[in-house]
């Protein structure tokens, strides 16, 4: 393989791995439990991380409760949830702690997206089916 092809291949691999929902994206090491009707996410010692991770989650119901218990010390971290038809049912800063409901959506495979913008701290949340 030529040097140019090797560089091109490395660049392609890096581009495909960035922001594609890789659960072990560079800069964070989340612990995830992803089962039907229950999704849990926790990572500590995040420092100035920017990136987005996306997860498919099976929700047999039409709504969920989100329990946020994070300690964001810098930047911002946002949780966005889309239902099975890609309608946004939830969007909130993870700096807001508490339990919050999603709006009603369509049962099936929901999308959970965690968006970091120079985020620092500990990120912890749980999403559980309610109805």
pLDDT score at 57: 98
User: What class is the 19-129 domain?
Assistant: mainly beta
Domain boundaries, the chain: 19-129
Q: What pLDDT does residue 131 have?
A: 81
Cα–Cα distances (Å) from 50 to 78, 115, 119, in that order, read 11, 8, 6
* pLDDT bucket at 18, cuts 50 / 70 / 90: very low
How many CB atoms neighbour CB 20 within 10 A?
12
Contact residues for 19 (Cβ-Cβ < 8 A; gap 6+) = 25, 51, 52, 53
pLDDT in tens, 69-126: 999 999 999 999 999 999 999 999 999 999 999 999 999 999 999 999 999 999 999 9
The pLDDT score that the predictor gives to residue 8 is: 37
Band (pLDDT 50/70/90 cuts) for residue 27 is low
Q: Cβ(109)–Cβ(84) under 8 Å?
A: yes
Give the number of other CB atoms < 10 A from CB of residue 123: 25
Q: What is the pLDDT of residue 29?
A: 87
């Amino acid at each position: 393989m030529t040097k140019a092809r090797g560089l091109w291949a490395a660049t392609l691999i890096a581009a495909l791995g960035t922001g594609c929902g890789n659960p072990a994206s560079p800069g964070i090491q989340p612990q995830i439990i992803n089962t039907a009707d229950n999704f849990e996410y926790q990572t500590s010692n995040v420092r100035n991380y920017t990136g987005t991770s996306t997860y498919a989650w099976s929700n047999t119901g039409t709504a969920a409760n989100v329990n946020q218990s994070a300690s964001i010390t810098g930047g911002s971290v946002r949780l966005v949830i889309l239902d099975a038809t890609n309608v946004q049912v939830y969007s909130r800063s993870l700096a807001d702690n508490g339990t919050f409901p999603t709006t009603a959506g369509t049962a099936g495979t929901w999308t959970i997206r965690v968006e970091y913008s120079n985020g620092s701290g500990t990120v912890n949340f749980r999403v559980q089916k309610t109805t």
